[in-house]
A and B are shown apart, each in its own frame.
Chain A
Amino acid sequence: MQEGNFMDLVYRMHREMVDNRILLVYEGEVNQDITKAFTTMTQRNLEEDVETSLPIKKRVYHVMVECLQNIGKHSDNLHSGEPEVPGSGIFLVSRSDAGFHVVTGNPIANTRKAEVAEMLDKVNGMNEEEIKAYYKQKIVESRISEKGGAGLGFIDIVKKTGNKIEYHFERINDATSFFIMKTLIS
């Protein structure tokens, strides 16, 4: 990229971030250190925010950890679609009048798309009572997987935020798609 274009890109990124009230954006490998650094940083920033209630602050923290650990544990290689640990992706936290948004994007194998969509559609289709009952059923039934997850992340996000998880798959190639999910904490 030409030097002038790059300078311009940096300025445009700055403008985009300010205009869209983006608090944090990261693209790259998501390991445990990154997870801890981002959540600790956000927690400190939110501590100074007197207008946001404690439950909202804790939910933002909670959703951030689940989303970051999802990228770290469940991403696939961008080109081959083979599992890749720690995974890489984009991670973004922003604010709007509606609340806080936590958005992630990471490559997953096309063969896993249906399974992920099914899990999300299922929890998105539940009301408050149903999601609570489903959580209680799943926490008893679940076993910690080889990847170290309990399979409760999506359920817990919907249960805690009371909002549906928006998601989208963008095709990359025959093997992979870019999986984007967006959570609102309000």
Chain B
Amino acid sequence: MEVLKIEATDETPAVLLDPVNNVLEFSGKSLPEDVTTFYSPILEWLGAYSAEPRAKTTAHFKLVYFNTASSKLILDILFELEKIQESGTEILIKWYYEEEDEDMKEAGEEYSELIEVPFELAVLD
């Protein structure tokens, strides 16, 4: 599979989906006007990846801010990642938050309750 790399802007996160180096990472902020257009290629990529994943996949979410429309698409991404373990391989979600950012921590906790996937919370450096 090809690497999907999207540079961060002031309204969209940096995305790196690199199966060769086993890195799936989302970082920055997300408040695009049109969430569907931004997230569609990412969801398509994950759909293809979840059909033939590596033996162990870790996805890192290092988001500092996202709007409510993005929160729905992040859930869609997590649902795609959940499919990976249906193929019998390992998946781990690592959700990062700034130390004082209780809302981002809570967002991670809420997502972890909506999917059945190993989920770790970690403080962002």
Contacts and interface: CB of A to CB of B under 8 A. Distances in A.
B33 A136 contact: no
Contact of B33 (A61, A132, A148, A150): A148
Contact of B68 (A53, A55, A132, A149): A149
Given A140-B75, A160-B103, A36 B10 contact: yes
B121 interface: no
Contacts of B11: 32, 36
A96 interface: no
A140 to B, nearest CB: 6
A161 B108 CA distance: 18
A54 interface: yes
B65 A62 contact: yes
Nearest to B100: A54
Interface residues of A, number: 31
A127 interface: no
Interface residues of B, number: 25
B67 A148 contact: no
B65 A61 contact: yes
Interface string A147-171: 0111011011000100000000000
A135 interface: yes
A152 B103 contact: no
Interface string A60-71: 011001100100
Interface string A126-149: 000000100110011010100011
Contacts of B34: 148
A45 interface: no
> Most chain-A Cβ atoms within 10 A of its Cβ — which of B33, B75, B110?
B33
A139 B103 contact: no
A107 B41 CA distance: 35
Contact of A55 (B10, B32, B33, B102): B102
Nearest to B64: A58
A156 B35 contact: no
B33 A144 contact: no
Contacts of A142: 72
B31 interface: yes
Contacts of B31: 35-36, 39, 65, 69
B73 interface: yes
Contacts of A62: 65, 67, 103
A62 to B, nearest CB: 7
Interface in B71-125: 71-73, 75, 98, 100-104, 110, 113-114
A144 B71 CA distance: 11
Given A40-B10, A62-B65, A148-B33, A139 B101 contact: no
Given A139-B72, A148-B33, 6 more contacts: A32-B32, A69-B67, A136-B110, A140-B75, A150-B71, A152-B71
